[in-house]
Structure 1
Amino acid sequence: MFSLPPLEELVAAAHVVALPMRVKFRGVMVREVMVLEGPAGWGEFGPFLEYDDEESSRWLASALEAGWLGHPEPVRSRVPVNATVPAVSAEQIPAVLASYDGLQTVKIKVAEAGQSLSEDAARVGAVRHLLPDANIRVDANGGWSVGQAVAALRMLNVFGLEYAEQPVASIGEMAEVRRALDGAVLIAADESVRKASDPLAVARAGAADLLVIKAAPLGGVRRALEIVAEAGLPAVVSSALDSSVGIGTGLALAAALPELPYACGLGTVSLMAGDVAAPSLVAVNGGMDVRDVVADADLLARFAVPAERRDWWLGRLRRCHALLR
């Protein structure tokens, strides 16, 4: 590992930006993140605003690993990437998909609060109509009950699902859904891994067929690699609505996994109307070439937050740094 950099060094290296979205995603229309330039490269500290300091400190550990230690050596030079469709209306889907190049896999948000299963079905059906040969996966973010999940996934599987991500909230409920579906739809665990005090509990409970792994919430690429190895399940690497710097960390994780049987959810920069790097780290012909990402000074200045928001983020940085110390 590496020594924790002094707080003063991090404050001097920090840039806080507000990146506008093309469409609402996770209720967000402007995404605030902090990027830091370290001796080994750029790292991103971007926990969502509602996250507490303990959870956020793992995101800081990931940023410091990227900027002050660097990423592990890759075992592949290219990573397949899926498109992401937010909980938009079926009529909006062609415009969302138009921002992606070479579509082969699409992840679709379902179980959005205030929406119905018929709206989910319309969204999935619209994607299948536009892309008859694509792999389609759905993500409920734990929004269903067990009964709702089983019924919804049996219905949505008429369109052919690659897998369903986090259909219910708890590990016990995930195991129930998986048993009820009996292999008809594969189950992927996301929040049950990255938000759990024990990220391996889902594997021990037989609650998932595969894991969705995000480097930042787990404390960095190396820790995420350890979890995948210990769990013994296939992994999909995903992002957390990051700038290209944060996507670069996810790409480094995907590139370092010994096996990568699924396309990864690293295409969310395509949902943004602003970024910190030029060119942005987006999929070309359905994948990304592994490369380092360097933030652009002009873009950092263009999207810089007002002084009071920078102070808010620096306060968060200080508290999380203290927890890591």
Structure 2
Amino acid sequence: MRTLIDFDDAPVFAIPAAGGVREGVLVEGPQGWGEFSPPADSDDALAARWLTAAMEPSTVGWPDAVRGRVPVAAAIPEVDPATAHRLAGAGGCGCARVVVGARRDSRGQDSARVAAARDAQGPGASVRCVVETTDVDEAIATIVHLDTVASGLEMVELSGGSVEFAAAVRRGVDVPIAVDALLLSEAGRVDAADVAVLRCGPLGGVRRAMRRADALGLPCVVNLSALTSIGLAGDVALAAALPDLPFACGPAAVSPADGDVVAEARSLMPVDGCLPAAPMPAAPDPVRLARYAVTDPATIGRWRDLLRRAAAAS
């Protein structure tokens, strides 16, 4: 099937975002398009899984959806409380996902941001946190404190550290702990988490992610890992196909509002807190694709090389 996909002419794109420019490649197959956007420092095995995910919609297609829309959380990065309040109240999302530094010098800012998100969301909505520390004691102290500030956290995602770190934090708190499904699977430690975090790209596509979820046997939350609406459609397809979806999806790292390669009418933006599921991604819009196309030969060459290595390893 790879012989039907033109890797050599696949367009490389760069989308501007708050955290810096994010890059990737669009691949076209017999049935449509996919997005290949692993971290630039990915090894061949990880890149191969991202390529499998990118090729899935353009070759075998996605599994049938069991829901037409999926709820998504509002993204609250490390911003001031006023901005956090505005972001939490936008898009009609019933959940806010707040990033916290979990450092002694950030405790006040973290608390203010979580309190602002809770105020904007109201008592009937959910607030979850992403804790960015690998210190067990700091993580536990932060979670216990913010659980009180938020009048109850839905869950806490641990963005770094080992499975042993996650297990130690989980033993020290009463808040559900969410850990990346790939980390849990590779370590064989489902006791380290209450919730498994599924990401379509790193897990190798919708089907492989669903198999991981089934093997782990934990409640799952889907985090959107793609950069464009072409890739986000795969994340949404995963959430739409899961038998159970107890949580709103984690928001995308790059919002289509920052820039997208599909037509504005096909851009995946939350409406009433949800994103629509589709049987296949939208095709890129030529004008928008040209706007974000990379022309630097060195950058194109780097992505072509990663794409070739991913294809050889998959």
- Give the secondary-structure state (helix, strand or coil) at the position aligned to 2:189: helix
Say if 1:289 and 1:150 are closer, same or farther in 2 by CA, change over 3 A: same
Deviations 1:264-290 (A, max 9, x none): 124545375211112311110011121
Q: Which residue of 1 aligns with 2:172?
A: 180
Q: Aligned pairs, how many? A: 306
Q: Which residue of 2 aligns with 1:15?
A: 11
Q: Residues of 2 paired with 1:56 and 1:173: CA distance?
A: 26
Matched, 1:286 2:280: no
* Structure 1 stretches lacking a partner, 5+ long: none
Matched, 1:44 2:44: no
- TM-superposed deviation, 1:11: 2.2
Whether the 8 Å CA contact 1:16–1:34 is kept in 2: the answer is yes
Residues 57-76 of structure 1 aligned to structure 2 (within 5 Å):
57-76=48-67
Matched, 1:157 2:144: no
Say if 1:41 and 1:94 are closer, same or farther in 2 by CA, change over 3 A: same
Q: Which residue of 2 aligns with 1:166?
A: 158
Deviations 1:183-212 (A, max 9, x none): x2010112xx3356x446231xx1111111
| From 224, 249, 264, the counterpart of 1:264 | 249
Whether the 8 Å CA contact 1:83–1:268 is kept in 2: the answer is no
Matched, 1:194 2:185: no
Matched, 1:277 2:265: no
Say if 1:115 and 1:188 are closer, same or farther in 2 by CA, change over 3 A: same
Q: Residues of 2 paired with 1:153 and 1:113: CA distance?
A: 11
| From 71, 76, 79, the counterpart of 1:88 | 79
1:41 partner amino acid: G
Matched, 1:6 2:3: yes
- TM-superposed deviation, 1:114: 10
287-296 or 150-159: bigger deviation: 287-296
Say if 1:114 and 1:293 are closer, same or farther in 2 by CA, change over 3 A: farther
Residues 140-151 of structure 1 aligned to structure 2 (within 5 Å):
140-141=131-132, 143-151=133-141
Whether the 8 Å CA contact 2:50–2:204 is kept in 1: the answer is yes
| From 18, 25, 43, the counterpart of 1:34 | 25
Q: Residues of 2 paired with 1:115 and 1:277: CA distance?
A: 42
Deviations 1:85-133 (A, max 9, x none): 11222233245446x4112101111127896222211211121122223
Deviations 1:6-65 (A, max 9, x none): 3872223x11111111x33xxxx2111111121122111001222223322211111111
Q: Residues of 1 paired with 2:55 and 2:237: CA distance?
A: 14
| From 282, 289, 298, the counterpart of 1:300 | 289
TM-score (norm 1): 0.87
Q: Which residue of 2 aligns with 1:219?
A: 204
- Give the secondary-structure state (helix, strand or coil) at the position aligned to 1:261: coil
- Give the secondary-structure state (helix, strand or coil) at the position aligned to 2:54: helix
Residues 92-131 of structure 1 aligned to structure 2 (within 5 Å):
92-97=83-88, 100-111=90-101, 116-131=106-121
TM-score (norm 2): 0.90
Deviations 1:160-187 (A, max 9, x none): 2100001651111211221221xx2010
- Give the secondary-structure state (helix, strand or coil) at the position aligned to 1:56: helix
Whether the 8 Å CA contact 1:236–1:264 is kept in 2: the answer is yes
Whether the 8 Å CA contact 1:269–1:275 is kept in 2: the answer is no
* Structure 2 stretches lacking a partner, 5+ long: none
1:19 partner amino acid: I
Say if 1:30 and 1:78 are closer, same or farther in 2 by CA, change over 3 A: same
Identical counterparts, % of pairs: 38
Say if 1:115 and 1:9 are closer, same or farther in 2 by CA, change over 3 A: farther
| From 216, 223, 237, the counterpart of 1:238 | 223
- TM-superposed deviation, 1:306: 1.7
Whether the 8 Å CA contact 1:157–1:185 is kept in 2: the answer is yes
- Give the secondary-structure state (helix, strand or coil) at the position aligned to 1:254: helix
Say if 1:150 and 1:80 are closer, same or farther in 2 by CA, change over 3 A: same
Say if 1:240 and 1:211 are closer, same or farther in 2 by CA, change over 3 A: same
Whether the 8 Å CA contact 1:250–1:266 is kept in 2: the answer is no
2:269 partner amino acid: V
